[in-house]
Amino acid sequence: MSNASDSRDPSSLRSARWFRPDDLRSFGHRSRLKGMGFDDADFRDRPIIALLNTWSDLNTCHSHFRERTLEIKRGVLQAGGFPVEIPVLSLSEMLMKPTTMLYRNLLAMETEEVLRAHPVDACVLMGGCDKTVPAMLMGAISADIPSIFFPAGPMLNARWRNTTLGSGTDAWKYWNERCAGNLCDGDWQEIENCIARSAGTCMTMGTASTMACIAESLGFTLPRASSIPAVVAEHSRLAVSTGRTAVELAWNQRKPSRFLRENSFRNAMTVQLAIGGSTNAMVHMIAMSRRAGFPLTLRDYDQLSRQIPVIANIRPSGKYLMEDFHRAGGLPGLIRQLGELFDLNSERVDGTRFIDDIPHAMILDDDVLRAMTDPVYPNGGTCVLYGNLAPEGCVIKSSAASKELLKHRGQAVVFRGYADLKARIHSEDLQVAPESILVLQDAGPIGAPGMPEWGMLPIPNKLLRRGVRDMVRISDARMSGTSYGTCILHVSPESRAGGPLGLVQDGDWIELDVESRRIDWLVSPETVQQREANRTCDTSGPGRGYTHLFTRHVTQAHQGCDFDFLEGRDPGREPDIF
């Protein structure tokens, strides 16, 4: 760690404002800590390190965080800090409805305010399950208080009989087989019993693994942190060293603004494309970059996507799982394969530069971490499309889609919201053919609300039985990073915000041409005008509470779905002390 500004002067610590003055308020702060059983040796003149913990009994991916908390605290104590644990909103992807995305900004806001309001010199952000990662990073960037991210780590590979199972990806696959009548109840039960083998996040390259890789690429973690499986000893050692590092961050004032640069975000975007990462990460990256003052756009993604092939052979784009990714060399190995496309002069939170270690990174399996000359998928693994159906853009993960559908013309079968989809999709009366295009409206940030992962619309059972396994699907929703198929997502502006998607009707022709980055709705301008004049759009929204706040202030997908009043940073704003 660089120690150019390491003063080790306790009066320079942020927490000194709380504990050093000889006044009545500081007396109160100290005496109440003493009432908890601490004495001066515990907290006086030591950096206070907050562990922001997203543990909950209902967050299946963070069930090991109680032990990791003890290990991080051990590291903090070893380095002379005072560790304090602060529980924050957990955002359990598997158990929260309608979607954790509805609450990402709430956790971001909580992270920022919790850090600002307390005597915190540095913090460890303990997250992992999908939205916890961007939420905590967004909050830390805005608060601009030294922060290091500790990823929950992926689950161990799962096995069913002699088959490897990956979270999400294989659940969708076998569910389709069950719906097609190819899998009996007993088999399905066995899969349920073994697809989640341990604590940890989804072990495919879903949103959690993608966001962990992004956190590491931005420099927010210790090297190789993003892929260490959740339940191995190496993960415990990562916890201890993360705790130790947090103390150094406090003394050295390594705030996010000290190491995050425009190129940090370009690096992270490059990595996201090279790992065949979740499309959700595009929304999160745009939000984080706008907080940091280096705003990314969908056009930046499109430009970079034309140069970056997918080289991580991980499901859903490839074959392996995160445990294999780690064994093969993890993110340092992947970055090494990227060569000059990754700026190695970028700094990490601890003051090291990628160039210090990436040139020596090991690549132990080049079928998992492919060379640039032998990619899993050529450039354009994730594409941004524009056209009269998506004036502000939409995205498709081409690397996880059917090649033959990437250029397609079909007639729309429209569902007006998720309830309509659920009620009719498997109806034997549904007028649908394999070449139809399934359209889901009203599933965007405001419409749903929260832009749930409904974008991988189910294939109608009657087509599944005929052997159809993929169709073109279009929505203003997101899809799980573990999903696959020819799904056009994040259509912006969304239906509820007056986007053209809301005007599409059954039978309209739509043309998709991924190579030309086009999505065209083949109706006349007069028809559009006429439908616009008759559009009825419910803009009333929920009447109270957090959802009321959300629907009035969330931005569109191409802008990152942050709250309009939370964008940017608020560096140096300290609470008044009375």
- What is the binding site for ligand FES (CB under 6 A)? 61, 93-94, 129-130, 167, 201-202, 206, 208
* 58 or 537: CB nearest ligand FES: 58
3-state secondary structure (DSSP) of residue 311: coil
* 106 or 208: CB nearest ligand FES: 208
Where in 88-188 does DSSP place strands (E)?
Answer: 122-127, 147-151, 158-160, 163-165
Q: How far is the CB of 92 from ligand FES (least distance, A)?
A: 7
Asked if residue 365 lies in contact with residue 334, where contact means CB atoms within 8 angstroms, the answer is: no
Q: How far is the CB of 143 from ligand FES (least distance, A)?
A: 25
Q: How far is the CB of 256 from ligand FES (least distance, A)?
A: 24
* 308 or 322: CB nearest ligand FES: 322
CA 457/CA 265 separation, integer angstroms: 31
Buried b (16+ CB within 10 A) or exposed e, 441-453: bbbbbbbbbbbbb
| Site of tokens 């132990």 | 364
- Cα torsion 192, 194, 197, 202 to 10°: value is -50
* 130 or 324: CB nearest ligand FES: 130
Q: How many CB atoms lie within 10 A of CB 363?
A: 17
CA 386/CA 558 separation, integer angstroms: 12
Q: How far is the CB of 425 from ligand FES (least distance, A)?
A: 24
| Site of tokens 């909050």 | 139
Rg of the Cα atoms in the chain: 24
CA 467/CA 464 separation, integer angstroms: 5
Q: How far is the CB of 129 from ligand FES (least distance, A)?
A: 3
Q: How far is the CB of 439 from ligand FES (least distance, A)?
A: 27
Which two tokens mark 236?
Answer: 């415990």
207-218 and 330-338 are packed helices; what angle lies between their axes, rounded to 10 degrees? 70
* 169 or 313: CB nearest ligand FES: 169
Q: How far is the CB of 202 from ligand FES (least distance, A)?
A: 3
CA 224/CA 549 separation, integer angstroms: 38
* 146 or 330: CB nearest ligand FES: 330
* 91 or 459: CB nearest ligand FES: 91
CA 191/CA 303 separation, integer angstroms: 40
CA 100 → CA 44, 129, 148, 370, 506, distances in Å?
39, 10, 23, 33, 31
* 204 or 267: CB nearest ligand FES: 204
Q: How far is the CB of 178 from ligand FES (least distance, A)?
A: 21
Q: Pairing mode, if any, of strands 122-127 and 82-87?
A: unpaired
- Cα torsion 129, 133, 136, 137 to 10°: value is 180
Q: How far is the CB of 171 from ligand FES (least distance, A)?
A: 11
* 129 or 440: CB nearest ligand FES: 129
Q: How far is the CB of 132 from ligand FES (least distance, A)?
A: 8
Q: How far is the CB of 443 from ligand FES (least distance, A)?
A: 20
* 166 or 333: CB nearest ligand FES: 166
Asked if residue 168 lies in contact with residue 206, where contact means CB atoms within 8 angstroms, the answer is: yes
* 130 or 350: CB nearest ligand FES: 130
